[in-house]
Chain A
Amino acid sequence: MSAPASDPHGHGHGHDDHGHGHHEPTFIEKFVFPTDHKYIGMQYMFTGMAMALFGGFFVYAFRMQLAFPGINVPLYGHVSPLEYNALVTNHGTIMIFWVAMPVLIAAFGNFLIPLMIGADDMVFPRLNRLSYQIFLVSCLVLITSWFVPGGGFGGAWTAYPPLSSNSEYSLTPLGSTLWVVAVALEFAAFLLGGINFITTAMNSRAPGMRAMDVPMIVWMICIASILFMVSVGPLIAGAIMLIFDQQLNTGFFDPRQGGDPVLWQHLFWFFGHPEVYVVLLPATGFVAEVITVFSRKKLFGYQTILYTTIGTGVLSFFVWAHHQFISGIDPRMANVFTVTTVLISIPIAEMMFLYIATLYGGSIRYTTPMLWALGFIATFLIGGVTGIFLGASGADIYFHDTYFVLAHFHYTFFPIAFIGTFTGLTFWFPKMFGRMLNETLGKIHFWGTFISFNCIFMPLFVLGAAGQHRRIYNYNHFPELATPDMQSLRVMATVSLLVLISFQVVFLFNFFYSMFRGPIAPRNPWKSGTLEWTTPTVCPGHGNWPPDQMPTVYRGPYEYSVPGRELDYWPQNEPN
């Protein structure tokens, strides 16, 4: 029953006898305007990966400038100060909104949720298609913003006014507005998508699947969607105000007209902080799925993890002004936010402990997905711990706007966006494409990425603690920061980045080669107990299961190593 090479999705065979009069979809219908959640998920995935190439190229250009100031960067050219700002801004914006969110939430969410809850599609397939189309338009608007007169927006991904609202300062009258419009469109796409995910997960579960039988990744993506939905509103309001400030000269954020720039900061960070948990939760979900399968153990404390996650989500709304400690907010509020920020480290730490407890005593298999999952836990811990320094407002007076902050959030974001993605990709690749990735290449890719990533950002902690501030395009202008020692750390970081980028070539080769020429995957290569591995073909067809064979669920998703059973896993849909 395995899919032949020319039809990797097993599509269209034997599904036409429903009597629905459903015609075989044309190429355009199947790949350009699909309503099938798997195809839409793939669209998001490939678009996100393509945007990651842009984001990666930008960081290459500006890190070369930082390590070798004034250099003519190969494949790019000279980096002017204005371009530097635009590169940094767009690198950050792309990686968060156009890589992390589409890949972690939209791609995997779309692909996995109906499969893991035993449904045939999302509840609103056409709305799903529309979400992707709006998302694609947002990508195109962003890309356009780099080519208009004046160039791309350079006011940092946080877009603080008056730099972002006044083109006399930003020097990018068109680019600024296009950037805001692109972000707003992306928000609209994810709001629509989120409604789809939440409604599907709440309502369309297979018969017998109680709330606590749902795989953790589905919960995580849903909670993330809810967090996004409830936090993005004020920023949408703010984006509208910012566009009017930029184009119509209103004064929402202009003190000369009675406005207040700090209002933008509040509007932005009220969303900005929950946003980081929006992307964190799916990544931790992938880790949960992978460590259970490759330690052949139940998830330790499923309910605890669930309630902790919900608690984290709620608490994430109470910490936002820790990004604004030195922007002139009321110091009494700074006290409140310090307390809440330090508190929020507790539930996440607990989650990590529960994952370690899951591993403890398990029968560990070091496959590539497992390596990525373990790598996530290790690096995210470093990121989280360094966040506590920043959460204390007194320490933050020194650390704010230094590279310490940057290293902290890269030790959290890189694990989330890249290590998390690779965890999911290497694990679910057989499901998506019907073939297996090469393990050796996968391990080479893992170690190359893991080691070089640490070599990039460890030095940046040191630099940040030494006082190097952010968003400077040439440290030679600051004698106390241009010492040979500090410059050598910058060079080390940049060289490590080049190594990191070159190892991604290994991945890309493995990914695309295996998609067409890899060994055909067995139906359940990892011997997992969750529903997505029970489809008739490893690569699910239209509707995932034949309508008369939709699964019924009898137990939880992590029944591994159950005593007295012959196999070491017990699929959810087997009656006994």
Chain B
Amino acid sequence: MGFRPIATTRSATGVPTGKLAVWWLLASEVVIFGGVLMSYLMHRINHVDWTYEAAHTDVRIGTFNTLVLLTSSLTAVIAHHYAEKGDGVKASNYLLLTIGGAVTFASIKFGIEWPTEIAHGFTITSSPFWSFYYVAAGVHAAHVIVGAIIMGFVAYDARQGRDLHRVENVGLYWHFVDLVWIFLFPLLYIAK
């Protein structure tokens, strides 16, 4: 019987099993990020000192990174489009582009943005704002990296023409990661 039981092929709800599972995963991730973000918001509203600290995040890098993630969402959905048509090679290529976006995002964040901020003395302990900043952005970046790794496996399989439905599923996860950043960006960078 192997690892693909009959159970996996059934769909009493009409939604394919893998996709349904990803939607539930996203529901739980909403609450995880929600917890971090709500805690951040509660402090941000009334803590005067936070506005002084928040002035020092770099809007230019933040904007560029947002652009990178938006574009990677585009390549992810195009990959899904090709997977739907059965073109595993093209789907794989676009997934690789998406991974490239993830790598760009992470490199800029860990290679340029954070080292600069740390060099200027904005470490995780320097003030509560920065503690939240590093935790929120860090948890998000961890999701970006894990997502990119999983996407790598899916891209490899897709190139051989296997399990093309997973392209959509990993894409859904990726769009979610983008969504979190869409909210994180104004909170951490723009709202001064």
Taking the complex as a whole, does A directly touch B, i.e. does some CB pair lie under 8 Å apart? yes
The reply on A205 being an interface residue by CB < 8 A is: yes
Q: Apart from A119-B10, A203-B7, A233-B30, what 11 extra A-B contacts exist at CB < 8 Å?
A: A119-B7, A124-B8, A126-B3, A203-B11, A229-B24, A230-B27, A233-B32, A240-B139, A248-B125, A251-B125, A263-B39
Q: Which residue of A lies closest to B129 (CB)?
A: A258
- Chosen A-B contacts, 19 in total, with CB atoms closer than 8 Å, are A20-B2, A120-B7, A121-B5, A122-B5, A196-B21, A202-B13, A204-B12, A204-B17, A229-B28, A232-B31, A233-B28, A235-B35, A241-B135, A250-B125, A252-B132, A258-B47, A258-B128, A542-B1, A547-B6
Nearest to B1 among chain A residues (CB) is: A543
| B residues 129-166 in Cβ contact with A at 8 Å | 131-132, 135, 139
B191 at the interface (CB under 8 A from A): no
A120: B residues at CB distance < 8 A = 1, 5-7
Known: A542-B1, A547-B6. A195 touches B31 (CB 8 A): no
B25, chain A: closest CB distance, angstroms: 6
Tell me if B21 and A123 are in contact (CB < 8 A). yes
Would you list which residues of chain A between 200 and 235 have a CB under 8 Å from chain B? 200, 202-205, 209, 229-235
B124 at the interface (CB under 8 A from A): yes
Q: Decide if A199 is an interface residue (CB 8 Å cutoff).
A: yes
Return chain B residues, CB-CB under 8 Å to A114.
Answer: 7
**Top 4 nearest A-B pairs by Cβ distance?**
A233-B31, A234-B35, A237-B35, A233-B32
Q: Which residues 4-55 in B have Cβ within 8 Å of A in the complex?
A: 5-8, 10-13, 15, 17, 20-21, 24-25, 27-36, 38-39, 42, 47, 49
Task: List the A side residues contacting B116 at CB < 8 Å.
Answer: none
Q: Which of A22, A124, A251 has the most chain B CB atoms inside 10 A of its CB?
A: A124
Docked-complex contact A203 and B10, CB < 8 angstroms: yes
Q: CB of B63 within 8 A of chain A?
A: no
Quick one: given A119-B6, A123-B8, A252-B131, are A203 and B20 in contact (CB under 8 Å)?
yes
Whether B35 lies near A236 (C-beta < 8 A) is yes
B127 at interface (Cβ–Cβ under 8 A)?
Answer: yes
| Candidates A234, A542, A543; contact of B34 at CB < 8 Å | A234
* B residues in contact with A234, CB < 8 Å: 31-32, 34-35, 38-39
Interface assignment of A191: CB less than 8 Å from any CB of chain B = yes
| Contact B31–A229 (Cβ < 8 Å) | yes
Expressed in whole angstroms, the Cα–Cα distance for A20 and B1 within the complex equals 6
Which residue of the partner chain A has the closest CB to B19? A199
Chain A residues near B21 (CB-CB < 8 A): 123-124, 195-196, 199
Chain B residues near A477: list those with CB within 8 A.
none
Shortest Cβ distance from residue B147 to the other chain A in the assembled complex, whole angstroms: 16
What is the total of A-B residue contacts with beta carbons within 8 Å?
Answer: 140
B56 to nearest A CB, angstroms?
16
C-beta contact mask, B107-134 vs A, less than 8 Å → 1, else 0? 0000000000000000011011001100
Query: Considering only CB atoms and an 8 Å cut-off, how many residues of chain B contact the other chain?
Result: 40
Which listed residue (A122, A230, A257) contacts B31, Cβ 8 A?
Answer: A230
Q: Specify which chain A residues have a CB less than 8 angstroms from the CB of B1 in the assembled complex.
A: 18, 20, 22, 120-121, 542-543, 547
Residue of B3, B6, B13 with most chain A CB atoms under a 10 A cut-off: B6
A18–B11 alpha-carbon span in the complex (Å): 23
**A89 at interface, CB cutoff 8 A:** no
Q: Judge if A522 is at the interface, Cβ distance under 8 Å.
A: no
A123→B7 contact, CB < 8 A: yes
Rounded to whole Å, the gap between the CB of B134 and the closest CB of chain A is 9
Known: A202-B13, A235-B35. A35 touches B28 (CB 8 A): no
Would you call the interface of chain B mostly helix, strand, loop, or mixed? helix
CB of B51 to closest CB in A, whole Å? 13
B11 touches A244 (CB 8 A): no
- Most B CB contacts (10 A, CB to CB) among A22, A203, A251 go to A203
* Nearest Cβ on chain A to B88's Cβ, whole angstroms: 22
- B32: min CB distance to chain A, Å: 4
* A550 on interface, CB distance cutoff 8 Å: yes
Instruction: Tell whether A282 is near chain B: CB-to-CB under 8 Å.
Output: no
Partner of B15, one of A203, A204, A240: A203
Interface string of A111-148 (1 = CB under 8 A from B): 00010000111111110000000000000000000000
Asked if residues B5 and A231 are in contact (CB atoms below 8 Å), the reply is no
Interface membership of A267, Cβ < 8 A: yes
Distance between Cα atoms of A342 and B12 in the complex (Å): 38
Whether, in the assembled complex, A290 has its beta carbon less than 8 Å from a beta carbon of chain B, the answer is: no
CB distance from B42 to the nearest CB of A (A): 7
Q: Are A244 and B135 in contact (CB under 8 A)?
A: yes
| A22-B1, A124-B21, A258-B49 given; A267·B31 CB < 8 A | no
Report if A502 contacts B (CB, 8 A).
Answer: no
Cβ-based interface call for A198 (8 A): yes
Q: B10, B17, B36, B127: which contacts A237 (Cβ < 8 A)?
A: B36
- Complex Cα–Cα for A211 and B3 (A): 27
Given the complex of chains A and B, what is the CA–CA distance between A229 and B6 in angstroms? Answer: 26
B residues less than 8 Å from A244 (CB atoms): 124, 131, 135
Q: Which A residues are in CB contact (< 8 Å) with B11?
A: 203
Interface presence of A238 (CB below 8 A):
yes
Binary contact track A82-126/B, C-beta < 8 Å → 1, others 0: 000000000000000000000000000000001000011111111
CB closest residue in chain B, given A231: B31
Given contacts A233-B33, A258-B47, contact A122 B135 (CB under 8 A): no
* Residues of B contacting A235 in the complex (Cβ-Cβ under 8 angstroms): 35
Q: Which residues of A contact B15 (CB under 8 A)?
A: 203
Complex CA gap A204/B5 in Å reads: 10
Bound: A120/B5 CA distance, A: 6
**A125 and B131 contact, CB distance less than 8 A:** no
Contacts of A304 in B (CB 8 A): none
Indicate which residue in B3, B24, B42, B135 contacts A240 across the interface (CB closer than 8 Å).
B135
Residue-by-residue, is A252-263 near B (CB-CB < 8 Å gives 1, otherwise 0)? Answer: 100001110001
Nearest B-chain residue to A240, judged by Cβ: B135
B2 interface neighbour in A22, A232, A240, A250, Cβ under 8 Å: A22
In chain A, what residue has the closest Cβ to B130?
A250
CA distance A347 to B85 in the complex (A): 50
Chain B 57-71: CB-based contact to A (< 8 A → 1; otherwise 0)? 000000000000000
Contact of A251 among B2, B27, B49, B131 (CB under 8 A): B131
What are the residues of chain A within 8 A of B131 when measuring CB–CB?
241, 244, 250-252
